[in-house]
Structure 1
Amino acid sequence: MGWLWGSGNSASAQDQLDPSLRDFLQKQAPTGPKPTLPSPPKEKPSEPPAPTQAQSQSHPAIPEKPAVPPQSQFQDGRYAHLWKNYTPQNVLDDRGKSEQDRLRDLVDAYNDRRASVGRVAMENCALEYLEQFECFRHPATWWSAGTMCNAESRKFNRCYDIQSKFLKALGYMTMDARTPDEDERIQMHADKLYQQMLQQEAEIEKAKEEGKPLPKFESVMSKQNMARSMAGASSTAAPVSGARNPYTEDETENDIWSHIKPESRREYEKKLAALPPEQQEIERMAVLGELKASTGMAKQVEETFIEERIQRMKRREAGQATFGDTIKHWWGWG
């Protein structure tokens, strides 16, 4: 039993076994080639040195494009094979639309924009409308009941009219693609300008009652004031020495009026001159915003007609012209 304590070698230990047991172990021993052991892991290559500032400027890193469309909830590349042949639903809908359907969509979108101006102005004037509604239900004084809430109605109508003009001037009617957050920002900006205008009027009325000189304010529609309002500055406008119209005709305004007949512009300017000075700037900006939306709509309609004409010419050259294409060709539509 000396082999249990490591005093003897393995050969002498095998000789001490019973011959029958030694033969049995030799028969049961595995035969064949010995299994190869796995090679040791290779050492990891050292990381390349970080590029210097000069190299990074000469060879800027190109950002990797996302492997999945923005509709996927996993922007890290998971399930990219499922999004390989994905096509957005709006693209599929446009493929099945005819030229008439596209024109109808443009007209519907423009009409919806016009209607949305009234809805948004109504939301901004919700308190004035509620005051008018409560006056109709339960007049606070005999004077309100006798005048059929005339003061409350005039207050609401003025709020609705001015808010609508502010929204048009800020470009709410344009056909540009905007997110709901951007629409809400324009809505809040219009209400902020209206509250600023009321504050200016209140200060002027207070100066009249006290017999003090009337304060001078810059127009609420001036570019500087609108920039401060959009940036979140205080709505209190500081009086300025010498009121003047800060809005000057620029290239954009001339481009807008270039699509309008000169007779119509002269007639509009006559009506504008008949308004009070404090209302001329608001009316002018509102009309410019509405004209800009109309010209943008007309431009999109023109582009749709051009695309339709190109498609008709391609079908006629390929020998696949339809009956409608032939009729339009006879009428000289291309």
Structure 2
Amino acid sequence: MNFASDNIVGASAPVLQAIVDANSGALPAYGNDEITKRIKARFAEIFEHEVSVFLVTTGTAANALALSSAVPPWGLCVCHQEAHVIDDECGAPEFFMHGAKLAGLPGVGGKLAAQDVSAYLRSLPKAVKQMPPKALSISQVTECGTVYSLDEIASLSAVCREHGLSLHMDGARFVNALVSLGCTPAEMTWKQGVDILSFGATKNGCLMAEAIVVFKPELAEALDYRAKRAGQIISKGRLIAAQLEGYFANDHWYDNARHANRMAKLLSEGLLGLPGVRMAWPTQANEVFPIVPKAVDQALKAAGLQYLHWTEASLPEGEAVGPDEALIRLVVSFATKEEEIRQALEIARSALSRQAAE
């Protein structure tokens, strides 16, 4: 059983079928085909807004190129200190921003609070020796599995407007957050002031398909050129677009996310029913972060479960992981089966029973 991530499973059947359907025959290359044109129009329908859309193959490319459009080489991008853009992308955003910096701020549960961002921005000197802040990047879902509410996004957007920053959303698990909030894509993005979005689909059923969705027209001006220089204008681009057609058809993307979120809830509730287990942060999407007795951690590992241990940096005030405990991350996906959840819970339950009997 593998709970290490939601990108370790393959593509879903409708996505694979869409690739097969698009594979036959000859179509114009480099995104000049009818499938790509259709999917770009589909994004406008989904977001209820005129948008510029740039299809790419990885989330790293989406984040790095999106931020490069918003932050000049002498600028600063503010993000959470554990954000994927600063912690997991090998400096790609700084590379594509040609020397601009990322500044990571703390925040409980992977979230940034508007008042903390505002205080940080006000603290920066205005002299030329200081790189001026040009963008704020937030993750939705965060690296701690939490979800920004619409009001929280709007508050961060207001800070951005006050200080002249663009607001970027890293939406690697975008639809998982939509399902969690019960809102529309428009309500979670431009209606709250998001200027540019890294739209993730690979973690939720695609093979390799992400998109940069731009709501602020001036941020799109150079993205074609930036994408080309980054090797992200794909010659057989129709096969990227086709994945997204299969993904969106018949609300397949929502079905996948609903299933993943439901599996996470099932796992989270089952773990909370065990003695000595508590959640580091609430389970709001498809990631579960329990603090478990070490006996449980050891039993799960011995049984072959794959998952990650997690950092304590964003724990709530007063919370700590004890010497006989472990903070772990369990991620479920559209392909996770209920039986896998039941097996994992039984392993944990049995470990605690053995410990109590000793």
- TM-score, shorter chain, exceeding 0.5: no
Greater C-alpha radius of gyration: 1
TM-score normalised by the chain length of structure 2:
0.22
* Structure with the larger strand share: 2
